[in-house]
Amino acid sequence: MNNNSEIINNDKKWKRSSALATAQKKYYEKNKNKLTADQIKYNKEYVKKEIKCECGVHYKMASKYLHMRSKKHERRMEKLKNGDDPNISNSMTKTPCECGSLILKRNQKVHETSTKHKKYMEEKRCIIIN
Ligand SMILES: [Zn+2]
Ligand SMILES: [Zn+2]
């Protein structure tokens, strides 16, 4: 009976591999809790880890994705590319006026009415006329 012996052989093979699989499964089950505990601990620490972005901002690993896509990151990278200090927002950037004063861009109009600026403009006019 050839068919029968084949079935028995298959059955034996199956039993052996099944025993191996069970052993592996047991090993995994036994270590699973430890493994996941370690993984969770690692992930928690990893996620909490602060990383300094190339734009100069510190972000937590957990918010890396959000930061990289943020307008803030984009703006800062743009400033760095232009050689500007990304820590100074545009509205706070002082630019030198031709009269020699350092002024905030948003204060330009007010500055133009200042004595110093007016005096400078007056002198400049005189120089041009002479
Ligand atoms: Zn960034
Ligand atoms: Zn001025």
Protein residues within 5 Å, CB atom, of ion ligand 1: 53, 55, 57, 73
Separation of 125 CA from ligand 2 center, angstroms? Answer: 14
Separation of 47 CA from ligand 2 center, angstroms? Answer: 50
What is the distance between the terminal CA atoms of the chain, rounded to a whole angstrom? 125
Model confidence at 72, in pLDDT bands (50, 70, 90)? very high
Amino acid 40: pLDDT? 86
Are 100 and 123 spatial neighbours (Cβ–Cβ below 8 Å)? no
Instruction: Sketch the domain layout of the chain as residue ranges.
Output: 29-88, 91-129
Separation of 75 CA from ligand 2 center, angstroms? Answer: 28
Q: Which residue has the higher pLDDT, 68 or 10?
A: 68
Amino acid 90: pLDDT? 62
Q: Which of 130, 100, 93 is nearest to 114 (CA)?
A: 100
- Could you tell me the pTM of the whole model? 0.42
Model confidence at 11, in pLDDT bands (50, 70, 90)? low
Amino acid 22: pLDDT? 86
Are 98 and 117 spatial neighbours (Cβ–Cβ below 8 Å)? no
